[in-house]
Structures are given as C-alpha cells and as structure tokens.
Amino acid sequence: MTRLKALNPEETTGKAKELFDAIQGKLGMVPNMMRTMGNSPAVLEGYLNLSGSLSHGKLGAKTGELIALAVSESNNCDYCLSAHSFIGEKLVHIDANTLQNARGGNAADAKTDAILKFANVLVNKRGLVNDADVDAIKAAGLTDGEIGEIVAHVALNVLTNYFNNTANPVIDFPEVHAGQIA
C-alpha cells in the first residue's frame, strides 16, 4: 500500500506541472516515483538535475544502470530494481545475465566489477571508506573523477531507494524483487 500520494500530472500546477510536462515529453510517461516526488518540486528537481548531470559523465549509461541495480539490491528497493532492470534491458540494451550479476555486485568485465564492488563498499560502510578501499578502485584503473561519479551514482540511488522505500509507490514497471538473485 502506498504511503505517499502520487500526483496526477493532469491535475498539477506550477513547478510540479512544469517538471511533469518535461518528464512526459522525454519519457512518454511520468513514473510513479516521480509523480510522488512531485509533492515537493524541490525533491523532484534535485533528483532530475543530479540524474541528468550524471548521464553526461564518463561512466556512461550502462555502468550507471549497473550501479543502480547493485545499490538497489543492497537497499531492498523493489521499485528501483524494477525500474532499472527495465531501463537496463529495454533502453540501454544490457543482457539479462549482466543485469542479474550486477544486483550481486558482480560483472564479467574487471573494471566494471571493481566499480560495482566499490559501490557496495560505499553502501555497506555508509560512505566511510578507507585508504585501502580507494586504493583498490584506483588500482582497477579508475580516475579520481570516475571515483567521484561512482560516489554520486551511489548517492543518487540511495536517495531514490530511501524515497521509494518510504513512499512505497505502485511499481509501474515489470516487477523485480530484492533477494531473488539467481
């Protein structure tokens, strides 16, 4: 049962309406998470701005989706697992095995594997990484800028995971549930 109300985009006004119109124009729909975030246009705009900025980063869309899956599995966020599994498969064209492995923090590619492992370290240590953690990700060939992007992707997904675990919006993607890794 939902805990926070998802706004109807056709009934909103002001900043929320402006943001919903932009989302509708880009995605062809306004997902329930964003409809719920619209209760505070500041939250929705902040999410959209960080997400948009990261989409232009060096890590790329594929890696961003894989980080989202690893973080969402760690935080037991079914909404985000569902959304990012769908986006990863249908929009970014990631195969099902790679998506499934990412949920466990694993990847066939050594650099991507190191990224997912570091993302999980960030989540598990609540950001309190140590020198060895940072040295390990640098040893995998990641630059300081890319490491910063990993931190930002984790933070973005912690925001959406916590938001969705609080709001409990209706999942409007094919459902995927935490803890069901093959």
Share of the chain above pLDDT 70, in %: 99
pLDDT at 155: 98
* Residues written for the chain: 182
pLDDT, mean of residues 132-143: 98
Looking at the predicted structure, is the pLDDT value of residue 37 above 70?
yes
pLDDT at 181: 78
Fold entry, domain 60-167: AhpD-like (1.20.1290)
pLDDT, mean of residues 149-174: 98
The domain limits of the chain are 9-54, 60-167
Spatial CA neighbour of 80 closest among 156, 3, 2 = 156
Spatial CA neighbour of 70 closest among 56, 80, 59 = 80
Assign 67 a pLDDT band (cuts: 50, 70, 90): very high
User: What CA–CA distance (Å, rounded) separates 78 from 47?
Assistant: 18
Using alpha carbons, list the distances in angstroms from residue 141 to 109, 114, 136, 147. 12, 9, 9, 10
User: Where would I find the H helices in 55-95?
Assistant: 60-74, 78-86
pLDDT, mean of residues 30-53: 98
- Residue 20 contacts residue 158 (beta carbons within 8 Å): no
pTM: 0.96
User: What CA–CA distance (Å, rounded) separates 182 from 2?
Assistant: 28
pLDDT, mean of residues 62-84: 98
Mean predicted lDDT score pLDDT of the chain: 97
pLDDT digits (tens, 9 = 90+) for 82-117: 999 999 999 999 999 999 999 999 999 999 999 999
Looking at the predicted structure, is the pLDDT value of residue 182 above 80?
no
User: What CA–CA distance (Å, rounded) separates 121 from 88?
Assistant: 22
User: What CA–CA distance (Å, rounded) separates 64 from 157?
Assistant: 10
